[in-house]
Amino acid sequence: MASDTNFVQAAIPCFDGHHDHWSMLMENFLRSKEYWLVVESGVREPAKDAVMTDVQKTELEGRKLKDLKAKNYLFQAIDRPILEKILSEETSKDIWDSMKKKYQGSSRVKHAQLQALRRDFERKGGGRGRGRGRGDQGNRDGSKHFKADDDHYECKGRGQDQHFDKSKVECFRCHKFSHYHSECYTKLPNDKEKGEKSNFVEKNEVETLLMAVQAHKELAADVWYVDMGCSNHMYGSKSSFSYLNEDFLSIVSFGDCSTVNVMGKGDVKIRTKNGFVETISNVLYVPDLKSNLLSAGQLQEKGYIITIQQGACEIYDPNRGAIVVVKMSSNRLFPLKIKSVQSCLMAEVKDSSWLWHFCYSHLSFGGLKTLQQKNMVTGLPQIAIPSQVCEE
């Protein structure tokens, strides 16, 4: 009779991009190891002033040990490039929830993807066949009310969930109601001879992806768009990276099922209007990207404060105050024009007064002039007090 200890270790399900199937296999695997409860509910830390008994301490340590073992299985099941994108890896519950949020997708994205697949299927003639099944029973996903015919499908965008009544909104341009100033299409008598173009644009929105494209203009390499729906900074010019790790390869997917390749990740140095050189770190290099994207979420993780009000997006640094103020464009985007700085930099100071000011650890120009007038330093030239203020 074989011993009870002789058994085959179950293989750990590796994540292959299909989250629904992988999560089902991984949940069953963790249940068999009796670790699923700690993954599902997490480890609740007691309050700092709480007094615990020996039994409670033992139970807490046991849950923490199970959490570490569950994390070990998840680390073995998920590849390194995917783990690098997970923001929080403190507990197994954090990893599980992050994978679910990133790869399972919201119901609205699934809704749009399903509709696109159905329309593509029927456009190719797949829906014209005559079957002997049970009618709409195949629509187990609740999509039986969808119609792939473009003539009968009405895309409502955000208005499908929320509707704002504009009947009491007054336009400050024509003083009529039910529209904003930016949407005004009324031609006024005092318009210029060349004619004032209307800002009203009729749109058919399908909001599955926040992406800005300017097809009629040549895209500038120094223009970034502050994007609230972008998970990571993205840049399309390889020459502007001060540091680039080309071993980092990944894929960026959009709501319309299209994908682009990520060919690296690195840092981009920029020069602000006040002359400082800042570094934007963890920027994805996407060669096929048509617009450079600045992730608002990634900026908030770095400690910056972002506010949008009165037609402007302001980025604050808690220590230095407002560092960027971006005005909203006519198409409701926030383009930020900043110059990138190459990795090789050279500093040149033409005014000798400033050069001596820097050499003496930012000594005041009055002090430098005193040193020169009293011949306290040999070789110190005539010091001219500039009108500018040292920013350092």
Asked if residue 208 has pLDDT above 50, the reply is no
The answer to whether the predicted template modeling score (pTM) of the entire model surpasses 0.85 is: no
First to last CA, the chain: 82
Strand-pair category, 223-227 with 292-295: parallel
- What is the Cα–Cα distance from 350 to 347, expressed in whole angstroms? 10
Give the containing element (helix H, strand E) for 201.
none
Q: Could you tell me if residue 130 is inside a domain?
A: no
Q: Rounded to whole angstroms, what are the CA distances from 292 to 85, 344, 352?
A: 20, 22, 40
Average pLDDT, integer, range 317-324: 76
Average pLDDT, integer, range 103-121: 69
Say if residue 230 is in the same domain as residue 264. yes
The pLDDT assigned to 187 comes to 65
Say if residue 72 is in the same domain as residue 177. no
Average pLDDT, integer, range 323-343: 77
Say if residue 233 is in the same domain as residue 314. yes
Tens-digit pLDDT profile for residues 152-165: 444 444 444 455 67
Which one of 205, 234, 255 terminates a domain?
Answer: 205
The pLDDT assigned to 276 comes to 64
Say if residue 95 is in the same domain as residue 174. no
Say if residue 238 is in the same domain as residue 320. yes
Strand-pair category, 250-253 with 259-262: antiparallel
Structure tokens at 139: 């629509």
Q: Give residue 257's identity as a one-letter amino acid code.
A: C
Beta bridge partners of 253: 259
Sign (positive or negative) of CA dihedral 356, 361, 367, 373? negative
The answer to whether 313 and 307 are in contact (CB under 8 A) is yes
Say if residue 325 is in the same domain as residue 228. yes
Most confidently modeled range among 22-31, 122-131, 364-373: 22-31
The domain tally of the chain equals 4
Cβ-proximal residues to 305 (8 Å cutoff; 6+ apart), any chain: 315, 316, 317, 318
Sign (positive or negative) of CA dihedral 128, 134, 140, 145? positive
Q: Could you tell me if residue 280 is inside a domain?
A: yes
Range of the domain at 270: 223-341
Radius of gyration of the chain from its Cα atoms, rounded to whole angstroms: 30
Say if residue 251 is in the same domain as residue 356. no
The residue that leads in pLDDT, 185 or 369, is 369
Say if residue 169 is in the same domain as residue 94. no
Say if residue 244 is in the same domain as residue 332. yes
Cβ-proximal residues to 215 (8 Å cutoff; 6+ apart), any chain: none
Q: Could you tell me if residue 57 is inside a domain?
A: yes
Most confidently modeled range among 49-58, 120-129, 275-284, 345-354: 49-58
